[in-house]
Amino acid sequence: MRVLVTGGAGFVGSHLCERLIAEGHHVLCIDDLSTGSRANVAHLLDHERFTLFVHDVTEPYFAPADRIYNLACPASPIHYQVDPIKTVSTNVQGAIHGLRLAQRTGARFLQASTSEVYGDPDVHPQVESYHGNVNPIGPRACYDEGKRCAETLCFDFHRQAQVDIRVARIFNTYGPRMAANDGRVVSNFIVQALRGEPLTIYGEGQQTRSFCYVDDLVDGLVRLMEHPTEVGPINLGNPGEFTIRELAEQVLALTGAGNALVHRPLPADDPKQRQPDITRARTTLGFEPKVPLAEGLKRTVAYFRDRL
Ligand code: NAD
Ligand code: UDP
């Protein structure tokens, strides 16, 4: 198949492109290289079935496609808050351009949505039927509401124009090829541990997250895309739930570093707890995360050790 991956030079996108190439598809990666990099796909650039098109998805584009994975969007709070207007535009305009392309070509369209659509949730663990608790005017809103609107667009194109859609709600995912300056917690802690710097815990570190290794997530995305009828929204993630302090302790144990832990202010609207209910993904997609946190962290530490 001809598969288009927007954001394909990013952390998750590069692993997805690699998987799709290995499955024998032709892959067109569209990326403006704002938070992704050519280095993430360097090993694919010479492949005859891989093309990198440097382009901003807020501008229209055309390419023949059977499948469109829409991942283009900065995912780390520090990056998506640099230019929040652009973040909204990337989510909304980017989704419209991808969905129009799907409408014209008949391609199936998968939206990389997020657990952030649940905001600071008062239902725990989060099930797909929960409509969330998002502050629409806070500093995270450009991302959270942008992603919520992208979901709306998917379902409106589906109902109004019969576009074949898939919506995945991705929970915190980590692994090799996160950028060292990404700013998300797993890469921050590992980079800090390896550099001998104190690990920065925001707030008391009692907030929780559920961390999914990137290979497991990519498997879920492909399963959803290729499912004949399931459109979602469907949670994809690893339900193992850890406090941020526990994560810091695991990273220190794995790196053998004796770094200090320092506390920094908790960012505004930081969700207190986050755990996916993946019953639906398990039953309809046969999705099952296989890589436990300790093993995934070990692989990610090895990646950063090589690079730093
Ligand atoms: P990332 O920042 O590494 O990847 C995003 C990619 O999109 C980058 O390559 C970037 O250059 C590209 N991009 C950004 N704006 C663009 C634009 N206007 N035009 C073209 N390309 C653009 O982040 P990631 O973790 O790989 O996230 C990939 C997708 O998955 C994002 O949509 C993100 O919202 C979603 N997601 C990720 C997680 C996670 O924990 N990693 C969780 C939930 C959702
Ligand atoms: N966090 C932290 N130290 C860091 C980076 C993040 O304590 O150096 C916290 C952050 O406040 C949040 C959690 O870790 O509670 C996950 O943050 P991340 O930015 O990785 O993802 P998100 O908040 O979008 O789930």
| pLDDT at 304 exceeding the cut of 90 | yes
Residue range(s) in the chain whose domain bears CATH number 3.40.50.720 = 2-174+211-236
Q: How many residues does the chain have?
A: 308
Atom of ligand 2 nearest to the CA of 207: 15
- pLDDT value for 91: 98
Of the chain, the percentage scoring pLDDT greater than 70 comes to 100
Q: Please indicate whether residue 143 is annotated as part of the active site.
A: yes
CA of 85 to the centre of ligand 2 (A): 22
- Ligand 1 proximity of 238 Cβ (cutoff 6 Å): no
Global pTM?
0.97
Architecture of domain 185-208+240-307: Alpha-Beta Complex (3.90)
For helices 293-307 and 244-255, give the axis angle rounded to 10 degrees: 60
Q: Cα(301)–Cα(280) distance, rounded to whole angstroms?
A: 31
Span(s) in the chain for CATH 3.90.25.10 = 185-208+240-307
Q: Residue 72 carries which DSSP code?
A: -
pLDDT digits (tens, 9 = 90+) for 1-60: 999 999 999 999 999 999 999 999 999 999 999 999 999 999 999 999 999 999 999 999
Could you say which ligand is closest to the alpha carbon of residue 79? 1
159-182 pLDDT per residue, tens: 999 999 999 999 999 999 999 999
Q: Which tens digits make up the pLDDT trace of 110-153?
A: 999 999 999 999 999 999 999 999 999 999 999 999 999 999 99
Distance from residue 34's CA to the centre of ligand 1 (Å): 9
Please tell me the residue having the least CA distance from ligand 2 atom 3. 201
How far apart are the CA of 185 and the centre of ligand 2, in A? 5
User: In the CATH scheme, what is the code of domain 2-174+211-236?
Assistant: 3.40.50.720
